[in-house]
Amino acid sequence: MIVNSKSDQMKLKTPVPMLLAFLFCALLSAQPKEQLIDIRVAPDHLDWTYNIGEEVEFTITVLKNNIPFKGIEIEYTIEPDSGWNSLGILDQGTIVLEDGSVKIKAKKFNKPGFLRCTATLEVDGREYYGYATAGFSPEKIVPTTTLPTDFEAFWKKNKEDLSKIPIDPKLTLLPEKCTDKVNVYQVELSNIQGKIYGILSIPKKTGKFPAILYVPGAGIRPYHGKISEAEEGFITLEIGIHGIPVTYEKSLYDNLFHGALREYWVLNLDDKDKAYYKRVYLGCVRAIDFLEGLDQFNGEHIGVTGGSQGGALSIVTAGLDDRVDYLAVFYPALADLTGFVHNRAGGWPQLFTDNQGNMSKKIETSKYFDVVNFARFIKVPGWYSWGYNDVICPPTSMFAAYNVITANKELKIVPETGHWTYPEQTESRNKWFFNKLR
């Protein structure tokens, strides 16, 4: 569905940013693009963060050619954080920007969470939009999901079952990817069901090295390995999660994504023993098994890192496997999946927004795979980063997971970012992560 006009937008009752984020982010990447007309929305606190009960005043500014665009009419909505869905609009209206800017005061927000102001404008038949999200005591957000009584027993048994399967590693040298400092291989490992594949990069120089497991964002794609990091003195393993080699042409993965593995994240969600992510989570443990057994591994330091689905898998792996020493996470998905059941934003893939058949069974199954419940068991230091403007992994859901972590943790919030990062965030992650592992 494409939104072609303001009238269509109002019929859908969902602000344009949420729709665009969903429609154009098949690989869950929403890096903003420069446009002729720039709509900027900002709260009146520098850190975009307020105490419960405080009022936020949003400033909406429209620029054309970097100059205030005066006398134009914009529409605005104010609503709670709701991902690409809608939990009800609290305020909306149309207003003329006489001087290219206007201030809109929102009503008091009386619970922990987030409030988003969206401004839309149509010029020459084209839609433009901007939005900003204010946080209210996000450190007080508590999960809606609960921990099943047999959660630990369930995963203990599954890890025991995995341990009975030989790793049976097969390494295929990829000469075209090797450098004068690093050997690069495709790796095949036996998993609880089928295989797991990845790209392994090992420094050529003599010695023992720390290891990093790179876990992927959502989707299906080829992988190329983290070679530059290996040149810095790390063993790196970048894995895929779908049990297929990771060096084929992209078209093959695209066909799978739109065919047999379409919406893989909800496959068998009504059965915890058959749910898709069971094999995925155990595959991450199997990757740690493999890294631990490498002759070049220093036997001391293993880290795991990723963003979105990869952020989720980083938390899951650290929660499942005490051999992980550090984790670094960007905007984790799969957190507090039951949020929408409680009229609150749930994490990607934003489940349970309508009657999806056998809802109660799916809700109960989701708890065995919810990032919140793995976050409860993290015991190692972690670095985390996301923004308040994320409509793919709503900030409400990410804080629900972060707030239950009792281990040492560091959170770098860059409020204006959505499902993307600034280079400074990556630099900050690398500095923290690499220094811990060395």
CA 358 – CA 240 distance, rounded (Å):
30
Check 289, 321, 419, 428 and give the catalytic one. 419
Check if the beta carbon of residue 148 is closer than 8 Å to that of residue 367: yes
- The H or E element that residue 214 is part of is strand 209-214
Check if the beta carbon of residue 1 is closer than 8 Å to that of residue 125: no
Burial label for 423, CB within 10 Å (0-12, 13-18, 19+), is: exposed
Who contacts 430 (Cβ-Cβ below 8 Å, separation ≥6)?
A: none
Q: Where are the alpha helices (DSSP H) in 141-213?
A: 151-163
- Residue 35: which of 161, 102, 121, 154 has the closest Cα? 121
Who contacts 94 (Cβ-Cβ below 8 Å, separation ≥6)?
A: 73, 74, 75, 76
Distance of CA 404 to the CA centre of its chain: 17
- The CA distances from residue 353 to 146, 339, 340, 371, 391, in Å, are 18, 9, 6, 19, 15
Kindly give the pairing relationship between strand 101-105 and strand 195-203: unpaired
Check 81, 289, 321, 390 and give the catalytic one. 390
- The CA distances from residue 239 to 247, 302, 348, in Å, are 11, 15, 21
Check 308, 314, 366, 428 and give the catalytic one. 308
- 308 in catalytic set: yes
- Residue 104: which of 114, 94, 113, 112 has the closest Cα? 94
CA 268 – CA 261 distance, rounded (Å):
12
CA 69 – CA 266 distance, rounded (Å):
45
HSE-CB at 179 with a 13 A cutoff on CA atoms is 14
CA 283 – CA 242 distance, rounded (Å):
9
For 43-87, the DSSP string reads -SSTTSEE-TT---EEEEEEEETTEE-TTEEEEEEEEE--TTS-S
E strands along 240-379, which residues? Answer: 297-308, 326-332
- 224 in catalytic set: no
Check if the beta carbon of residue 309 is closer than 8 Å to that of residue 218: yes
Which one-letter amino acid corresponds to residue 65?
N
Ramachandran bin of 390, using left for φ above 0, alpha for ψ from -120 to 50, beta for the remaining angles: beta
Q: Which residues are catalytic?
A: 308, 390, 419
